[in-house]
A = this chain, B = another copy of it.
């Protein structure tokens, strides 16, 4: 089944201890689509400016990503410039130029309104709500958000929670949104306002999936070198939703597998700049890492002490 993602399509300039990349593909929808394209059909709704090097989207199109919903507006594309220090744990934003993204108002093309899986990537929650008014009873709607919107649009996010099945956000954002220091309590707070599932991403420390009665945890795959963490969370979401859409199975057992797939796709994303690694990735490599993820956490039945 196919997935609709609504989010940013940007140009990133990134500096890490290992190198620099200028004006490379970035944005939440781009990473999501690059990741999910390994699992299912993805359609992107977003906006780019007249300066956007659309030929750079070719590798994604070759992977079957549908950009028919990508709006081309007059003006500058969304640009983000950031830097990671030695520990790679958090990005320092050096510059954000919203450009055409500041007037973005997502219009979902008619043929995409029936997509059964919808991911509302990190954009203004008012726009996320607006997308939900356009789509027709998806099987699963998931949303992400970020600190900026939590600070400026908290009531809208809370309204949004009443209309989504699942929320993904990182641990700092979960704490900020819920004002709970404890992630278990934060997840309960969010679920009490709508979503049946909450995924709290902890970057290099893995991710939790909460339901009313269960908790699942998948570690981040321990890499010997992380090259550029940009887009890891959206690649996680792409792997997660992409897997659900590919299998069409929303059982707890399958959602756990989807979280592992999310973690695996996030781990590939950080091995190179931008979506580079996701573009060379093979299904065999994905399957191999899923196996390694299992080995990483498996312990056999206990021998009574």
Using known A-B contacts A181-B86, A182-B225, determine if residue A256 contacts B299 with beta carbons closer than 8 Å. yes
A77 to chain B, nearest CB (A): 33
Chain B residues, Cβ within 8 Å of A298: 256
A300–B257 Cα distance when bound, in Å, is 7
A200 to chain B, nearest CB (A): 10
* A284 close to B (CB within 8 Å): no
* A216 close to B (CB within 8 Å): yes
* A253 close to B (CB within 8 Å): yes
A249–B305 Cα distance when bound, in Å, is 11
* A68 close to B (CB within 8 Å): no
A205–B298 Cα distance when bound, in Å, is 17
* A254 close to B (CB within 8 Å): yes
A299–B219 Cα distance when bound, in Å, is 12
* A303 close to B (CB within 8 Å): yes
Using known A-B contacts A205-B205, A249-B303, A303-B249, determine if residue A215 contacts B296 with beta carbons closer than 8 Å. yes
Taken together, the copies of this chain in the complex come to: 2
* A206 close to B (CB within 8 Å): yes
- Encoded as 1 (CB less than 8 Å from any B CB) or 0, chain A from 201 to 239 comes to 010011010000011111100111110000000000000
CB distance A253 to B219 under 8 Å?
A: no
* A123 close to B (CB within 8 Å): no
Q: Which of B182, B216, B303 contacts A299 (CB 8 A)?
A: B216
* A39 close to B (CB within 8 Å): yes
CB distance B299 to A294 under 8 Å?
A: yes
- Encoded as 1 (CB less than 8 Å from any B CB) or 0, chain A from 267 to 299 comes to 000000000000000000001001000111111
Using known A-B contacts A214-B295, A219-B206, A219-B217, determine if residue A247 contacts B305 with beta carbons closer than 8 Å. yes
Chain B residues, Cβ within 8 Å of A226: 182
Please give the number of chain A residues whose Cβ is less than 8 angstroms from any Cβ of chain B in the complex: 47
CB distance B205 to A254 under 8 Å?
A: no
CB distance B224 to A184 under 8 Å?
A: yes
* A246 close to B (CB within 8 Å): yes
A192 to chain B, nearest CB (A): 14
CB distance B205 to A222 under 8 Å?
A: no
Chain B residues, Cβ within 8 Å of A259: 299
CB distance A222 to B299 under 8 Å?
A: no
Contact sample, A vs B, 6 pairs, CB 8 Å cutoff? A182-B226, A216-B299, A219-B219, A256-B299, A256-B300, A257-B300
**Chain A interface (Cβ < 8 Å from any Cβ of B):** 39-40, 86-88, 181-185, 202, 205-206, 208, 214-219, 222-226, 243, 246-247, 249, 253-254, 256-257, 259-260, 287, 290, 294-300, 302-303, 305
* 7 tightest A-B CB contacts, nearest first: A205-B205, A246-B305, A256-B299, A297-B297, A217-B219, A184-B224, A217-B296
- Other A-B contacts than A88-B181, A218-B299, 13 sampled, CB-CB below 8 A, are A39-B305, A40-B305, A182-B223, A182-B226, A183-B222, A202-B205, A208-B222, A215-B222, A215-B296, A249-B303, A253-B300, A256-B299, A260-B299
